[in-house]
A and B are shown apart, each in its own frame.
Chain A
Amino acid sequence: MIKIYINRFFHNRLAIFSSICILILIFIAIFSNIISPYEPNRQNLVQRLLPPTKQFIMGTDDLGRDVFSRIIYGSRVSLTVGAVAVGISMFIGIILGLVSGYYGGIIDSIIMRLVDIMLCFPTFFLILMVIAFLEPNIYNVMIVIGLTSWPGITRLIRGEVLSIRERDYIQLAKISGISDLRIMFVHILPNVIGPIVVNTTLGIGSAILAESALSFLGLGVQPPTPSWGNILTTGKDYIHIAWWLSVFPGIMIFFTVLCFNLLGEGLRDIFDPRTSG
């Protein structure tokens, strides 16, 4: 089974391309301090708002900081937020989905109504509101994004579990006296790993987007810590005279989210049995 998936992965150009790009991004994020040519927060008011040159390949911002270095450090924020937020939402979503689908009945009804309620809120405004009450920093942003994006994954996993728990091998496992917990996590969970992986990658994309939007609005990562979102905020004020301040972080957000979405699409093709032919 796993071999088949790996084989399909290496025949899927989209998946390979996007995962290489993501690996490069992760590499950049980890080794930011080595790669970046300057301190991201080092100000030099003499060299403010310089266009891209050999010295500053993405120009400088209004305080004379090197945009390239800030973008490199910003990748840390984006990837961390993406990973942690999706980790939180997956953790909640997987557990609730498994319990809901496996036990059914009243437990299922309660969890599903909870999901319906969560889906009724315009999520982004909910996040905005909660962040407005809390202190806006990177930890709160990660937690709030994570805590608001679990309903979709819960519903998805519940649906998968509903069909799998009726299979004979689950019945047999029950008959053989294997505990519910073990059946859920050892017997059912590996069977739904496909949709989980696909949704994790897609979820990372939208979490990064949400973080950028929050930072852009000033409710996310607070300056001077660089994030793609708050570099854009600065760029907004100088868009007539310094295009590079908006364009480069914009491209990075666009490119990163695109990569994660393409990887998600690619993985969906890989895990979909109908594409096996």
Chain B
Amino acid sequence: MTAISIEGVEKRFGTVTAVAAISLAVNDGEFFTLLGPSGCGKTTLLRMVAGFADLDAGAIRFGERRIDRLPPHRRNTGMVFQNYAVFPNLTVAGNVAYGLRARGVAPAAIVERVARALALVRLDGFGERWPHQLSGGQLQRVAIARALVIEPEVLLLDEPLSNLDAKLRVEMRGEIRQLQQALGITALYVTHDQEEALAISDRIAVMRAGSLEQIGPPAEIYSRPATAFVAEFMGVTNLLTGTVLGNAGGRLRIGVGGIELVAHGRGVAKDSRVSLSLRPETLRLLRPGEAEPARWSRIEAVVGRIELLGATTRVECVAAGDVTLRLVFLDLVPGAVVPGASVALTYDPDRVAVFPAA
């Protein structure tokens, strides 16, 4: 159980920079997720921690100890691979015992620790089975038990759920989180799935093209994205671009198309171009004659397309100057909301994220 510190780490493949001078610190016992689209460098960064990719610059430490020069088999990390990488020529118990044997643990102790590890991932009694007899979810549990049984300093997970079906994915991520909490182990997790990252992490680092976009706890990343990229990557949003019309002590008036939006932000000069993100669920529809809540803002618009998505309904509204705003209703839309109807929308300016124009 160890903190990880990544200091100015760089990796180039030929002329392509896979990881560009990244620094970040993972706290002891923290569940830390590297999130980003494919090719953003998140897997390369994880593999540098594991020792499967060399650093072109920078350093990686576990606690105070520098580990980036150690060969991968001396780093004492437990890695869970995307495709499980369960050895097909060994039984479940043989797989879990593999790392213990490499460490010269006494046979009696191996038996006991393997049994405990299998119990931990709810595979008691599966020790004598062969990998080809197991389902994807069970293979994933074997891979996790195998990584945990060696009592690694850090647990590394490389998109471990991407080969599972949707339902199992949700179940397994809960289990992984629970195990990590129970053992108090430091975990570095790689995924391209923002929902998974939000659900499982203590903190998330969003990466793009080899660089960090933002680090923070899930709620902050989602509702206060630092860049347009993060705003869009973390979920559906209304991403608008406009000009600052006025700044009154951090309360910004921003002209977008033919409407004026209000948001909070510091250090934004008048007349500068900004982007802003307004999540669909933060927009509310006002009933006819209803006034907006205190300190909230109001937008007049016309209903456009309506899409039923199942549990939710998405409504597109068009405001003056062709500004399209998407709303999400968790319940059925009121009967008055039909294409072409005039409606009034309202939102809390606190929930509008502002950043320099993309």
> Does chain A bind chain B?
no
Q: Which residues of A are in contact with B by a Cβ distance under 8 Å?
A: none
